[in-house]
A and B are shown apart, each in its own frame.
Chain A
Amino acid sequence: MPEPLWRRLLRHRSATIGLTLLAVFALAAIVGPLVIRFDPVRQDLERILLPPSLAHPLGTDNYGRDELVVLVYGARLTLGLGVLAVLIGVGVGAPLGAVSGYLGGWVDMLVQRLAEILLAFPSIVLALALVAGLGPGLRNVIIAVGVSSIPGFIRVVRASALQLRELMYVEAARALGVSSGRILLRHVLPNAAAPLIVQATIQMGVAILVAAGLGFFGLGVQPPTPEWGELLGEAHTYIFRDANLATFPGLCILLAVLAFNLTGDGLRDALDPRLG
């Protein structure tokens, strides 16, 4: 009997660090807004850009809001952006990849060309181009980042589907007259789950980087709504008055992306028994 997945993950050093960080961020994103009473629109002009103190552990921002509270509140937005964008990527990319790899032929050809075209754009450039067309804002950032993550998912699931297509039990299902749709749903997609989960975890990091980047440039969530990228973008304009302000939102983005990358590494090792 093989060791359960979670135990293999906990033995993996970088996965442990990643999962711990993720737990902290998830707690902030889920519980934070419930326990902290915070109105992002409320300004306190007498407390602008205060240095860190006992009352404000990370100081205050350009609206006089407590930086720590703002960041905890922002966790939900930034991480939520990432989750929704990756869901779009998986939702579109995984079925396309499965169909492409399993059916082959002209469908495969068509889907591969599509993936190739999307891959020809660096993801931040593709996201920028889409937001330029769609206009700024939360919903459009999610769409833009989601679309730019599609080709990665197509590739990963297609590779699994190509292997699975040749396996005995899939052939048996085919021989029994099971429809292609059912085989894809019941046999191909579930068995492609492991690499898909790894890809989704790592893609979460990329999605957060790109989404926060759009926020940084003022193309995402509009101020004063505190999304980490947007906070960093505002801190940029205050950089000569208060260099401190830029430190923490960026650190949050870095740590969140790092957490997903470390967890993804760990998952890849834990899900691939051949490496063990």
Chain B
Amino acid sequence: MLTYVGRRLLAAIPTLWGVATAVFIMARLLPGDPARVIAGINASQDQVDHLRRQLGLDQPLPVQYLDFLGGLVRLDLGTSAHFGDPVLAEIGSRLPYTAELALAALAVAVVLGMLGGVVAAQRRNTVVDVVISTVSVLGISMPTYWLGLMLIVLFAIQFRLLPAAGADSPESVVLPAVTLGLLSVGLIARMTRSSLLEVLGQDYVRTARAKGVSPARVVVAHGLRNALVPILTAIGLQLGSLMGGAVVTESVFGWPGVGRLLLDSIFSRDYPMVQGLVLLFAVTYIAVNLLVDLLYVVVDPRVRYA
């Protein structure tokens, strides 16, 4: 197990290096002079030159690249052109908001999804099945930004139940979390249903029923526990779209997390910040996938890694 973890971590290093290189290249696709863009049209040539030296943009590209990689190793993502603070510090102050939103959304998705899946497995070939496949195809087809707007119209403008934007009160997280979570409910429900049905057909489940275990216990202890691996995979696959969705959702609801920071930074042309954030998203995505793989072993001891 430990060697497996070690090997997976080592294998992630070339990917991380590639991702960092891709981010470096993307930030330099920009036509024109980034120093001029960051300084603004009204800045004097001296100011622009100063900024260029400060950002290291007067160095040849290979030197810039090595500086960039060296900075990454020391966890130095540079200085935000907009805030004037280190990029990492600004990201750190926004990250808790995104974590809160993502966890709340995940909770919505997992609870509703698994509940729906269990019910569907019990009432096979009924209207529940149709509802679940409809919800799941709607979930992957839904423009997150529109769902968010419609929930704002309904719950903030019409019924005035919840705040439309911001993070000023505890209930502010409800609408963004529901927006983000609803997208994954259908897929998780579908996977729960099919995985559970397969397990419930096994001999040991029949044995459990025969020896008088209560139906609820059969489903939860014997069924769900053994059906978890494919469900976890579905949830893991959802985490990627959850992260992408967070960027969109945070912007629609004015939620002060890293997703909104990314869009704000694109508009304020804060390239060090954009670079740092894009890197953060990719690294988190890689880490989450690794974590899901490792969780399999915890959930299902039959999974062994050589």
Contact A122 B285 (CB under 8 A): yes
Q: Is A258 an interface residue (CB 8 A)?
A: yes
Query: Within the assembled complex, what's the spacing in Å between the Cα atoms of A253 and B147?
Result: 11
List the A side residues contacting B15 at CB < 8 Å: 113, 116-117, 120
Query: Within the assembled complex, what's the spacing in Å between the Cα atoms of A220 and B29?
Result: 17
Query: Within the assembled complex, what's the spacing in Å between the Cα atoms of A232 and B142?
Result: 14
Residues of chain A from 209 to 266 with CB closer than 8 A to chain B in the complex: 209, 212-213, 216-217, 219, 229, 232, 235-236, 239-240, 243, 246-247, 249-251, 253-254, 257-258, 261-262, 265
Query: Within the assembled complex, what's the spacing in Å between the Cα atoms of A167 and B281?
Result: 41
Which residue of chain B lies nearest to A123 when distances are taken between CB atoms in the complex? B244
Q: What is the 8 Å Cβ interface bit string for chain B, positions 2-23, against chain A (1 contact, 0 not)?
A: 0000000000001100110011
Least CB distance, B94 to chain A, in whole angstroms: 15
Contact A121 B143 (CB under 8 A): no
Which residue of chain A lies nearest to B239 when distances are taken between CB atoms in the complex? A122
Q: What is the 8 Å Cβ interface bit string for chain A, positions 106-144, against chain B (1 contact, 0 not)?
A: 000000011011101111110011111111000000000
Could you name 5 residue pairs across A and B whose Cβ atoms are closer than 8 Å? Answer: A125-B278, A131-B266, A132-B274, A205-B141, A261-B140
List the A side residues contacting B241 at CB < 8 Å: 122
Contact A217/B263 with A239-B153, A257-B141 known, Cβ cut-off 8 Å = yes
Chain A residues within CB distance 8 Å of chain B: 14, 113-114, 116-118, 120-125, 128-135, 205, 209, 212-213, 216-217, 219, 229, 232, 235-236, 239-240, 243, 246-247, 249-251, 253-254, 257-258, 261-262, 265
Chain B residues within CB distance 8 Å of chain A: 14-15, 18-19, 22-23, 26-31, 137-138, 140-147, 149-150, 152-153, 157-158, 240-241, 243-245, 247-248, 251-252, 262-263, 266, 271, 274, 278, 281-282, 285-286
Interface of A is mostly: helix
Least CB distance, B282 to chain A, in whole angstroms: 4
Least CB distance, A255 to chain B, in whole angstroms: 8
Contact A135/B143 with A128-B262, A128-B263, A258-B137 known, Cβ cut-off 8 Å = no
Query: Within the assembled complex, what's the spacing in Å between the Cα atoms of A205 and B241?
Result: 14
